[in-house]
């Protein structure tokens, strides 16, 4: 979150970008998110350089026609995100005290540096095997205490919990989930869980090949974690105890969740409200593509129709 850029007011022009870069500009425009040149390459949708498309360029950012205002929105969101990121790191240190939590990462708007003042701080958590519901019960209690003290502008939200045996999200191979996977920012990793998570979702490269490749390379830094003997023993005992309470914890929490929110929740995964976004965003993206490309669908666009 220490990224910075030079802001100017007189650097306005039209640029040509490749087709895959244009596709990703259209996708990120859904979230009012212009892209830097390096991000155009990182987030390329597919690997199709032609045809070229005209886009606008201002203050180091690329964006679609008549969308210059989102440049200033992103600049403001970046400043707000830096504050929330520091708070998230402190909260992650508290949650790391729960022995069954194996990985904590930032997701949602904050992971892209695009959080607004009233945006929730969204986290994605990986737990030990067969402890996802028990861990959520304990972690949720800690978060309720944190949220009580943090004020309305820094609420923490964890809509996705998975255990280390259920890292693959291939049951929903669409662009929204693919983007969410590679945009996560790791705050805690015990023993290379992030690398396993990225490796378990290789299907992502169908949408974002460059982003997936770079994330997999980056994940190597998390493979050298070696817990102390004391922590290993504590974690083993806690896992055994948590497994005993997993079923009662699941029953208790399912009683409090609405059907629409809990769709997609299983023994090893808690994916709250994911189905809504998995259906809405790809459809909206297709609609926008058909509009900006004047319904002349290329092979890259056709995959969303099929």
pLDDT of 156: 86
pLDDT of 229: 63
Residue 128 pLDDT level (bands cut at 50, 70, 90)? very high
pLDDT of 150: 55
The 10s digit of each residue's pLDDT in 82-108 is: 999 998 999 999 999 899 999 999 999
Among candidate residues 287, 269, 13, 282, the one with its CA nearest the CA of residue 163: 269
- Position 12 pLDDT exceeds 70: no
The 10s digit of each residue's pLDDT in 245-298 is: 999 999 998 888 877 777 778 889 998 878 888 999 999 999 999 888 764 444
Q: Does domain 79-277 have CATH number 3.30.460?
A: yes
pLDDT of 265: 85
Q: Among the residues of 163-273, which ranges form H helices?
A: 175-183, 193-199, 209-218, 229-256, 259-262
- CA–chain centroid gap for 271, Å, is 13
pLDDT of 40: 95
How crowded is the C-beta side of 228, counted as CA atoms within 13 Å? 3
pLDDT of 9: 42
The 10s digit of each residue's pLDDT in 171-213 is: 889 999 999 999 999 999 988 999 999 999 999 999 999 999 9
Minimum mean pLDDT range among 90-94, 185-189, 227-231, 239-243: 227-231
pLDDT of 230: 65
Domain extent listing, the chain: 12-73+281-305, 79-277
Q: What is the mean pLDDT of the chain?
A: 86
Please, are residues 36 and 60 in contact by the beta-carbon 8 Å criterion?
A: yes
- Position 69 pLDDT exceeds 70: yes
Residue 38, both tokens = 């390096």
């Amino acid at each position: 979150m220490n990224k910075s850029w030079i802001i100017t007011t007189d650097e306005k022009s039209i640029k040509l970008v490749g087709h895959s870069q244009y596709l990703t500009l259209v996708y990120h425009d859904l979230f009012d998110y212009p892209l830097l040149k390096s991000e155009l390459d990182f987030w390329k949708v597919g690997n199709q350089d032609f045809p070229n498309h005209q886009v606008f360029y201002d203050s180091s950012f690329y964006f679609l026609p008549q969308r210059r205002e989102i440049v200033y929105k992103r600049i403001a969101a970046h400043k707000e995100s830096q504050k929330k990121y520091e708070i998230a790191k402190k909260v992650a240190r508290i949650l790391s005290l729960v022995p069954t939590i194996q990985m904590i990462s930032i997701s949602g708007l904050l992971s892209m540096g695009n959080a607004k003042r009233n945006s929730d701080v969204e986290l994605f958590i990986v737990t030990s095997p067969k402890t996802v519901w028990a861990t959520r019960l304990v972690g949720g209690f800690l978060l309720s205490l944190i949220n009580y003290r943090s004020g309305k502008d820094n609420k923490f939200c964890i809509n996705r919990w998975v255990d280390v045996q259920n890292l693959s999200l291939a049951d929903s191979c669409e662009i929204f989930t693919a983007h969410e996977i590679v945009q996560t920012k790791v705050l805690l990793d015990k023993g290379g869980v992030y690398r396993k998570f990225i490796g378990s979702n290789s299907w992502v490269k169908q949408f974002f090949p460059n982003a997936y490749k770079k994330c997999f390379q980056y994940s190597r830094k998390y493979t050298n974690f070696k817990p102390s003997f004391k922590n290993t023993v504590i974690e083993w005992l806690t896992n055994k105890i948590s497994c005993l309470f997993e079923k009662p914890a699941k029953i208790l929490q399912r009683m409090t969740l609405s059907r629409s929110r809990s769709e997609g929740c299983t023994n090893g995964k808690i994916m709250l409200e994911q189905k809504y976004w998995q259906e809405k965003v790809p459809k909206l993206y297709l609609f926008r593509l058909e509009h900006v490309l004047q319904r002349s669908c290329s092979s890259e666009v056709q995959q969303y129709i099929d």
